[in-house]
Amino acid sequence: MLPTTLSDIDELVLTCRSEATRSYVSEAVLCYKAGAYRSAIIATWIAVLFDFIHKLRELEMAGDNAAKIKLATFDAARKSNDVRASLDFERSLVDSARDEFQLISAVEAVDLQRLFDDRNRCAHSSMISADEPYQPTAELARSHLKCAVVCLLQHPPVQGQAALDRIWSDIKSEYFPHDSQKATEFLSDGPLGRARPPVVRSVIIGLTKDLVNERRSRNERERQFAALKAALMLYPTLAQSIMAEKLPAIVQNVTDAMFDLVIRYLSRFDEAWKLVGTSSQMRAISYVQNGPADKMFRFIPHALKVPALREYATERIVDLDADMLARLISTHLDRIYVGPAIDRLATSGSFRASEARLVELILPLAPLLSPDDIGRVIEAFHENEQISWAGDVADLLKDLLAATQSIAAASQSHWHRLYKTLLSHKYYENGHGRDLREMLERQFAFAPVLS
């Protein structure tokens, strides 16, 4: 939207990056306020010219050889007072900004070329009409001011493909942050910080396509998620519209073999489920219900994080074997695993299976256990001799008590039941059993009296 008040126009000055550019834009604004619209347009073009030169110097310092050559041409014309060469430099400015340095888009180039043409009409009015000088309107001068700032003056000297190349290079770096907040801070200081919509669009679409179609290392994937979240935080309204437009089609084209990556993607962005479209939502539900059993560790932990998929993922967990359940637990802790884990322990068919299930299923979930869960574990100990007679179970129960100290007091009655069993169980009179019994006595001040 064009500025409609003088205060709006004043704000344009503040968005210019270069101090020199701001001075020329300030001059253009003063001319506009005074009603000198020809002078305002001329000053606006001068601001564009000096901003372009300033950007070339920044690019030269960054090692851009094309910028170095372009500056050499300008400096040579200036030093030799070559008016024709200087005019040629101005005439080619818009084309160079668009084609050589990709500082502006094709549409923006059209707008800046109009500014250049109108500047010529203003500066050389006699060339338009000998009787009536060119008289631009206030709306035209205001439009050129807005266009110059939005298209060029407020942006860093990296845009277009060059900006994208730098952004991709940053994200691929091993030193790019995994935390979305730090990624936002990192990218806001670079070309994404004040990027034009086409650049933002390319970043969001490019990251989304890669995240749902390619298997990357964990580190690279986390960098990509952090970068995508940064783009969403920097440009929330634009990003929302881009995802609403493109996400359904992107997901529809993902193969079944890669669809677990879609579930992972949905789990990382709260808004993604609503934006993905009805057909892809139905496909995601079907995939969670029927996806390959041997690959469940790839999608069940992530499906549990999506509210609309959690019920279906929970149903899938009920019938898992102990090995796959252990793999899921090692991937992601969730209370939803507690019930099935204790069930698998209770049905252990051998000493070694009992020990393995305590190690792989119960102990990793210790931070999530409730006093009732402790009671169920101890109940399983009493009901299944493959647990109670397993050689390492006493030590593993010691580990469980140590890992659940926060609920030890609330679980005391369950531990007391175990303690009484230890007193009456000959197998636990010495060695590990005695250590467990003594630990319970220290923890709860249990007395070795049968009752």
Report the pLDDT value the prediction gives residue 29, as an integer from 0 to 100: 92
Identify the domain boundary among 107, 133, 155: 155
Convert the pLDDT of each residue in 80-100 to its tens digit: 999 899 899 999 999 999 888
Asked if residue 83 belongs to a domain, the reply is: yes
Q: Which of 155, 174, 193 is the last residue of a domain?
A: 155
Over residues 205-231, the mean pLDDT reads 95
CA–CA dist 338, 333 (Å, integer): 9
d(CA 53, CA 61): 13
Residue 253: count of CB within 10 angstroms of its CB: 11
Question: By the 8 A CB rule, do 54 and 16 touch?
Answer: no
126 — pLDDT class (breaks 50, 70, 90) = low
pLDDT band at 32 (very low <50, low <70, confident <90, very high): very high
Identify whether 271 is part of a domain: no
Domain for residue 327, yes or no?
no
**Angle of CA points 243, 229, 313, to nearest 5°:** 75
- Note whether 231 and 366 are same-domain residues: no
The residue among 15, 10, 52 whose CA lies nearest residue 27 is 10
CA distance 372 to 366: 12
| Structural domain ending residue among the three candidates 213, 247, 281 | 247
3-state secondary structure of 292: coil
Based on the domain organization, do 82 and 171 belong to the same domain?
no
Give me the pLDDT at residue 63, please: 66
Does some domain include residue 391?
A: yes
Is residue 273 a part of any domain in this protein?
no
- Using DSSP's 3-state secondary structure scheme, residue 220 falls into helix
Ramachandran region of residue 217, left (φ > 0), alpha (ψ -120 to 50) or beta? beta
Which residue bears the tokens 């340095």? 101
DSSP state of 96: I
* Interaxial angle between packed helices 236-252 and 197-213, expressed in degrees from 0 to 180 and rounded to the nearest 10: 40
Hey, is 406 helix, strand or coil?
A: helix
The torsion of the CA quartet 251, 255, 256, 258, rounded to 10 degrees, works out to -80
In a domain, residue 263? The reply is no
Instruction: Name residue 25's amino acid.
Output: V
Is residue 415 a part of any domain in this protein? Answer: yes
Residues 129 and 73 grouped into a single domain: yes
Rounded to an integer, what distance in angstroms lies between the CA atom of residue 13 and that of residue 34? 17
Residue 276 counted as domain residue = no
Are 44 and 37 in contact by the 8 Å Cβ rule? The answer is no
CA 229/CA 181 separation, integer angstroms: 8
Q: How far apart are CA 122 and CA 23, in angstroms?
A: 20
Residue 269, phi-psi category: left (phi > 0), alpha (psi -120 to 50), beta (remainder): beta
Q: Are residues 102 and 176 in the same domain?
A: no
pLDDT of residue 157: 77
Return the residue matching tokens 């094309």.
Answer: 66
How large is the average pLDDT for residues 38-50?
93
- pLDDT of amino acid 429: 66
Same domain, 41 and 125: yes
88 and 207 both lie in a single domain:
no
Whether residue 113 is found in the same domain as residue 169: no
Are 148 and 216 in a shared domain? Answer: no
Number of domains in the chain: 3
- Residue 159: pLDDT band (50, 70, 90) is low
- Sign of the CA dihedral with 383 first, then 386, 387, and 391 last: positive
More confident residue, 427 or 193: 193
Residues 162, 102: contact at Cβ < 8 Å?
yes
In a 3-state reduction of DSSP, which class is residue 162?
A: helix
Percentage with pLDDT > 90 across the chain: 66
Contact of 400 with 358, CB cutoff 8 Å: yes
- Residues 219, 184: one domain? yes
Residue 179 sits in the same domain as residue 58:
no
Joined tokens for residue 44: 């606006």
Clarify whether residues 90 and 16 are in a common domain.
yes
Which residue range is the domain that position 364 belongs to?
A: 345-451
- Give 317-371 pLDDT, tens digit per residue: 988 899 999 999 998 899 999 999 999 999 999 999 999 999 999 999 999 999 9
Same domain? For 192 and 53 the reply is no
Give the angle subtended at the CA of 31 by the CAs of 29 and 32, to the nearest 5°.
65
pLDDT band at 411 (very low <50, low <70, confident <90, very high): very high
Token digits for 156? 């860093």
DSSP, collapsed to helix, strand or coil, labels residue 192 as coil
CA distance 43 to 28: 5
State the Cα–Cα distance between residues 151 and 102, nearest whole angstrom: 12
Q: Collapsing DSSP states into helix, strand and coil, what is residue 219?
A: helix
Helix 218-234, helix 180-188: angle, nearest 10: 60
Nearest to 316 by CA among 301, 331, 333, 335: 301
> In this model, does residue 451 exceed pLDDT 50?
no
- Cα separation of 304 and 334, whole Å? 8
Phi/psi at 354 (nearest 5 deg)?
-60, -45
CA distance linking residue 426 with residue 424, whole number of Å: 6
Q: Name 388's Cβ contacts closer than 8 Å, sequence gap at least 6.
A: 381, 382, 421, 425, 427
